[in-house]
Amino acid sequence: MDRLDELRGPVPPRPHDARAIAALAANPGCARRAVLDAAGIDKDATATHLGFPAPFGQSPFAITRGNVFEALVKESGCAELLRLLREILGLPIPLASYTDLGDVGGNPSAHLRHSHTRRLLDRAARDGDDAGTLYDHPLLRLDIAGHTSYLEPDVVAFRLGGRFHIVEIKSFSVIDGQAEPDKVAAAARQAAVYVLALRDTLEELGHDPARVSHDVVLVCPENFANRPAATLVDVRRELAVLRRQLARMTRVGAIVDALEPGLTFDLVPDAGGAPTRPVADLREAVRGVGARYAPDCLSTCDLCFFCRDEAASEGSTDLLGRQVRDALGGVATVAEALGLADGSLIPDEGQEEIARLLRLADRMYAEVS
Partner 1 sequence: MSTLAALARLRAVHTGAAQRLATVRHCHLSERPMVLIPLRLAGEAAAPLAAMAGTDPARPRLLVVPQPRDRDLRFAFAAELAEILLPYIEGLQKATETVERRGAEPFERCVDAPQVIVPNRSAVAFVQLLGRSTRFRRAEGEYAVHPSVPVLGRWLTFLAQRAQYPGSASLLAATEAMSLHWATGQSALEDANLASLMGWIDPPPGMTGAEAAREAEDPLVWPPAGPATDPGFDSEVLAPAIRAYAETRSDRAAARVGEAVRSQLEPTWRLMWRAVGLLGALPAGPGVAARWEGDRASFTGFAAQLAEGGPPQPKRDGAVGAASRLARMERAQASYDAQRAYDDPLVMAGHRLTGEAFTGTVLAADPDHAEGEGRGRKLRPLLTVRTSDPVRLAAGTRLGTPERRGQQAEVVEITGGHVTLKIVKGMGRGRTASPGSVPEVGERVCYAALTDEYQPPASLPAPEDTPWTHGGPPPEHVPAVEEPDEEEWA
Q: Which of 76, 94, 224, 271 binds partner 1 (CB under 8 A)?
A: 224
Pick the closer one to partner 1 by CB: 239 or 340. Answer: 340
Query: Does 39 interact with partner 1 (rule: CB under 8 A)?
Result: no
| Count of CB atoms situated within 10 Å of the CB of 274 | 11
Least distance in Å: CB of 47 to partner 1?
15
How large is the C-alpha radius of gyration of the chain?
Answer: 25
Least separation in angstroms between CB 27 and partner 1 = 14
> Pick from 76, 276, 323, 344: which binds partner 1 (CB under 8 A)?
323
369 contacts partner 1 (rule: CB under 8 A): yes
Q: Count the helix, strand and coil residues of the chain and give each as a percent rounded to the nearest 5.
A: 50, 15, 35
Closest by Cα among 17, 26, 143, 160 to 85: 160
Determine if 46 is a binding residue for partner 1 (CB under 8 A).
no
Q: Which helix (H) or strand (E) holds 123?
A: helix 110-126
Q: What is the rounded distance in angstroms from the CA atom of residue 195 to the CA atom of residue 191?
A: 6
Query: Interface with partner 1 includes 58 (CB under 8 A)?
Result: yes
117, 149, 173, 201: residue in contact with partner 1 (rule CB under 8 A): 173
Q: How far apart are CA 366 and CA 154, in angstroms?
A: 59
- The residue within the footprint of partner 1, chosen from 100, 143, 281, 296 (CB under 8 A), is 296
**DSSP characters over 280-341:** HHHHHHHHTS-----GGGGGT-TTHHHHHHHHHHTTBGGGG-HHHHHHTTT--BHHHHHHHH
In whole angstroms, how far apart are CA 80 and each of 71, 72, 77, 232? 10, 8, 8, 16
Residue with Cβ nearer partner 1 (90 or 330): 330
Stretch that binds partner 1, among 25-33, 35-43, 278-286, 360-368 (CB under 8 A): 360-368
In our burial notation (b when 16+ CB lie closer than 10 A, e otherwise), range 13-36 reads bbebebebbbbbbbbeebbbbbbb
Of 58-66, 78-86, 239-247, 253-261, the window that binds partner 1 (rule: CB under 8 A) is 58-66
Q: By CB under 8 A, is residue 229 in contact with partner 1?
A: no
The one-character DSSP state at 211 is: G
| Smallest distance, partner 1 to C-beta of residue 17, A | 19
Q: 76 or 323, CB closer to partner 1?
A: 323
* Contact residues for partner 1, defined by CB under 8 A: 55, 57-66, 68-69, 72, 171-173, 175-177, 221, 223-227, 295-296, 298, 315, 317, 319-321, 323-324, 326-328, 334-335, 337-338, 341, 357-358, 360-362, 364-365, 367-369
